[in-house]
Amino acid sequence: MAVRSLWAGRLRVQRLLAWSAAWESKGWPLPFSTATQRTAGEDCRSEDPPDELGPPLAERALRVKAVKLEKEVQDLTVRYQRAVADCENIRRQTQRCVEDAKIFGIQSFCKDLVEVADILEKTTECISEESEPEDQKLTLEKVFRGLLLLEAKLKSVFAKHGLEKLTPIGDKYDPHEHELICHVPAGVGVQPGTVALVRQDGYKLHGRTIRLARVEVAVESQRRL
pLDDT per position as a tens digit, 93-132: 999 888 888 777 788 888 888 888 888 888 777 766 555 6
Give the phi and the psi of residue 84 in degrees, each rounded to 5: -65, -40
Q: So what's the pLDDT on residue 146?
A: 84
Residue 207 DSSP SS3: coil
Mean pLDDT of 75-104: 90
When pLDDT is cut at 50, 70 and 90, the band that residue 225 belongs to is very low
Q: Which residues contact 160 (CB under 8 A, 6 or more apart)?
A: 112
Q: So what's the pLDDT on residue 106?
A: 81
pTM: 0.51
Q: So what's the pLDDT on residue 103?
A: 78
Please state the domain extents for the chain.
163-224
Q: Mean of the per-residue pLDDT values for the chain? A: 78
Q: So what's the pLDDT on residue 172?
A: 93
Please state, in angstroms and rounded to a whole number, the distance separating the CA atoms of residues 121 and 150: 10
Q: So what's the pLDDT on residue 3?
A: 45
Return the H-helix or E-strand segment holding 189.
Answer: none
Q: What CATH class is the domain 163-224?
A: mainly beta
204 and 163 Cβ atoms separated by less than 8 Å: yes
Q: So what's the pLDDT on residue 47?
A: 45
